[in-house]
Amino acid sequence: MQDAEKRAACALHEQRAVERDSEALRGLYERAIEKPRALMPQLERLRKEHAVAFQKTGIANGIVQDQQQALREAETRFAVALQAYQSLQTQWRELSDLLREETNK
């Protein structure tokens, strides 16, 4: 779960870094008097990187959600098992008490 959360955080950090770079470059491009064609390949590369980073973030978040769901299910199974164990302990004590009473008669 922690590994999935770390991957999600890294993917989100990467996505935000690409978004910052893209915004900075877009700002330079739009402020330029002549829109140099040299920036177009960089903008396109950043658009692609942004798409990849966005996809990684989605995948990582999906993994985190899956891990959280698995954890909730495991906690539920544990609670049910603990309740069954406590019930068996109670039954064991009751039977032990009955057996002790019968042997002491």
Rounded to whole angstroms, how far apart are CA atoms 94 and 47? 70
Whether residue 17 contacts residue 28, with contact meaning beta carbons closer than 8 Å, is answered with no
Rounded to whole angstroms, how far apart are CA atoms 5 and 62? 10
pLDDT per residue of the chain (105 residues) written in tens, 0 to 9: 777 777 777 777 888 888 888 888 877 777 776 666 777 888 888 889 989 999 999 999 999 999 999 999 999 999 999 999 999 999 999 999 898 888 887
- pTM value is 0.55
Tell me the two tokens of residue 82: 């603990």
